[in-house]
Amino acid sequence: MADTIAAVATAMTASGIGIIRISGPKSREIAGKIYRSKGGKKRIENVPSHTIQYGFICDEDEVIDEVLVMIMDAPRSYTGEKIAKEKLDNILQAGLLSASGRSRKPWEFVVVQEKEMLEKLSHCRVGAAKMLENAGCAILVFANPEKTDVWVEDCSIAMSNMHLMADSLGLGSCWIQGRLREAENRESTEAYCRKLLNVPEEYVLEAILSVGVLNEHPKAHTLEELEKEKVHYETY
């Protein structure tokens, strides 16, 4: 996204709270022109991402109102827009067409698009799934371990292919590990997601792919960054 845009994100009804979303490369700069911290020393341009800052909205020296500013920098910051069906279908096709050991294809994909469910899903990991609140969708990759003993590898291939397809379509995505991880309520991520989504007991969770329209697309890695010393020929 090259432009910086702003929009009202609350319903146009009587309310005690109003939310304005600013997205784009100059978001912090623009917010910084009207934000003042409580002590007057903290600048919104310099605070860490994924934090909430208390302060005031000001018109020059006049205080307009109190405010909480939530900072969510790219690449794990989404606009909240829905994913076009055609793009979502392409991502899922990339997963379904993935190679698997003996072509067992042990995976089952659960696609979550409803905002209320995405918010609940954002609590499936301790401090690692908050981006799901504003994601366009989440794709949970479950597997039947009775089908193959390499279900982890097979599901990881499917996850990787969907990851790459999302990027090729200009979307952002993030791999959220599910296996052997813990939810905010201290039960396993797998158990939390299984209960939330009514997944049968025989299926186990590998990972979750968050997909969304990015506030700002990160720069691609360059060939100069490649750690070529990690490639060994013939012997180590």
One domain for residues 107 and 179: yes
Domain termination site, one of 43, 71, 99: 71
One domain for residues 96 and 153: yes
Q: Which residues contact 1 (CB under 8 A, 6 or more apart)?
A: 23, 24, 25, 214, 215, 216, 217
222 located within any domain = no
pLDDT digits (tens, 9 = 90+) for 61-113: 899 999 999 887 766 678 889 999 999 999 999 999 999 999 999 999 999 99
What pLDDT, on a 0 to 100 scale, did the predictor assign at position 9? 75
Domain termination site, one of 71, 101, 125: 71
One domain for residues 91 and 191: yes
Q: pLDDT band at 1, cuts 50/70/90?
A: very low
pLDDT digits (tens, 9 = 90+) for 155-171: 999 999 999 999 999 99
CATH number at residue 36: 3.30.1360.120
Q: pLDDT band at 209, cuts 50/70/90?
A: very high
Q: Which residues contact 33 (CB under 8 A, 6 or more apart)?
A: none
Domain containing 134: what range?
85-212
One domain for residues 205 and 119: yes
pLDDT digits (tens, 9 = 90+) for 130-160: 899 999 999 999 999 999 999 999 999 999 9
220 located within any domain = no
| Predicted confidence (pLDDT) at residue 60 exceeds the cutoff of 80 | yes
One domain for residues 109 and 173: yes
What pLDDT, on a 0 to 100 scale, did the predictor assign at position 150? 98
Number of domains observed in the structure of the chain: 2
Closest C-alpha to 166, from 80, 77, 74, 95: 95
Spatial contact of 217 and 75, defined as CB atoms under 8 Å apart: yes
234 located within any domain = no
Spatial contact of 188 and 197, defined as CB atoms under 8 Å apart: no
CATH number at residue 147: 3.40.109.10
Residue listed under structure tokens 């989504």: 197
Closest C-alpha to 23, from 65, 82, 74: 74
What pLDDT, on a 0 to 100 scale, did the predictor assign at position 52? 87
129 located within any domain = yes
229 located within any domain = no
Domain termination site, one of 17, 40, 71: 71
pLDDT digits (tens, 9 = 90+) for 13-50: 777 788 888 877 888 899 999 999 998 888 998 988 87
One domain for residues 31 and 140: no
Q: DSSP for 30-73?
A: HHHTTEEESSS---TTTSPSSEEEEEEEEETTEEEEEEEEEE--
One domain for residues 101 and 208: yes
Q: Which DSSP state fits 214? A: B
One domain for residues 94 and 49: no
What pLDDT, on a 0 to 100 scale, did the predictor assign at position 190? 98
One domain for residues 62 and 21: yes
One domain for residues 29 and 133: no
57 located within any domain = yes
